[in-house]
Amino acid sequence: MLRPLLILISGLVFSNIVLAEPTWKWVKANNLIDKWAMEEGMAEVRISKDAFEAKLYKPDNLQTVYIKLSGTIDKNWIVASHNVTNAGRGFNKFRGPRKSSHWKGFEEHTGVETITLTDGWSMIGLTRGIAAK
């Protein structure tokens, strides 16, 4: 009886705190009509009760935000504006789920958290390992 209550409380606490994890990784597949262009890098992600923000950095420049995503999260469904820094483009809305999976038996990670977004043309994936305590 106590275990389900602890799991419920942990979930409520987790869903209401702000996360700032520099260990997130991102990938973006850009639709270029006859081919895909892939980009990837590190990200800083913040999630609160109903707000989502991600700052995506290219591997060769971790000081300057390359893409900024900001929007809302409701029941693990994200809707976010997409803005490319210094490009004057990127007004599309990206949508998609936030999911996590947990496991036992590994020293470094006990799970993974993934966000998969699309605007119908391009895709952005964010992921991080959930560290063992």
Domain ranges of the chain: 20-131
In the block, residue with structure tokens 């305590």: 133
Encoded amino acid at 23, one letter: T
pTM to 2 decimals? 0.76
pLDDT for 88 equals 62
pLDDT for 89 equals 63
pLDDT for 7 equals 37
Q: What's the topology of domain 20-131? A: Lipocalin (2.40.128)
Grade residue 110 by pLDDT with cuts at 50, 70 and 90: confident
Grade residue 8 by pLDDT with cuts at 50, 70 and 90: very low
pLDDT per position as a tens digit, 28-67 = 999 999 999 999 999 999 999 999 999 999 888 888 999 9
